[in-house]
Amino acid sequence: MEKVTTFLWFDDKAEEAAEFYTSLFPDSRITEVRRWGHAGPGEPGAVMTVTFELAGRPYTALNGGPHFTFTEAISLSVDCADQAEVDDLWERLTADGGQESECGWLKDKYGLSWQIVPRRLMELIADPDPERAARATKAMLGMKKLDVQALEDAADGR
């Protein structure tokens, strides 16, 4: 067991969400499903928690009821190798009721916030030329899904 694990509270879709999330990334799997017993508070036999790994990192999802919901105060940030990975994840995470936000952020259909970040953005905003970095940052601030070519064009003043 990991010393620190991200714990995600769902109303009643923990297993469905874990199945969806593990389908998105290599080296991901569900490792355990625990069910409520007769002591409750959930229905005996219903899924209580799902332990899973995303890209090798541990997470636990709880069916805790409608008492708490996700906010943007917590998000999962994904380092994307290229535009193709950004496009694929963006499409899959915004499908079926997900919502686009700004600057590479979105909420999936379960309400969890994600940052879908191309690696190139981090290089551009850390450029040693402060004007290039500022132009890339300004371009990013005007985007929903991040566009690597548009970020590079902005950094280059095009």
Q: How confident is the model at residue 77 (pLDDT cuts 50, 70, 90)?
A: very high
Q: How many domains does the chain have?
A: 2
d(CA 118, CA 85): 8
pLDDT at 2: 76
For residue 150, give its domain range. 70-158
User: What's the mean pLDDT when you consider all of the chain?
Assistant: 96
Q: At what angle are helices 83-94 and 148-155 packed, to 10 degrees?
A: 130
pLDDT at 145: 98
3-class secondary-structure state, position 72: coil
**Neighbour count for residue 77 (Cβ, 10 Å):** 11
Q: Read off the CATH number of the domain in which 12 is found.
A: 3.10.180.10
pTM comes to: 0.93
User: Do 147 and 130 have their domain in common?
Assistant: yes
User: Do 78 and 115 have their domain in common?
Assistant: yes
User: Do 74 and 118 have their domain in common?
Assistant: yes
User: Do 48 and 75 have their domain in common?
Assistant: no
User: Do 158 and 98 have their domain in common?
Assistant: yes
User: Do 92 and 60 have their domain in common?
Assistant: no
d(CA 50, CA 59): 8
- How confident is the model over 14-53, as pLDDT tens digits? 999 999 999 999 999 999 999 999 998 889 999 999 999 9
User: Do 125 and 58 have their domain in common?
Assistant: no
pLDDT at 141 over 80: yes
pLDDT at 54: 97
Q: How confident is the model at residue 58 (pLDDT cuts 50, 70, 90)?
A: very high
pLDDT at 1 over 80: no
Q: Are strands 57-63 and 6-10 parallel, antiparallel or unpaired?
A: parallel
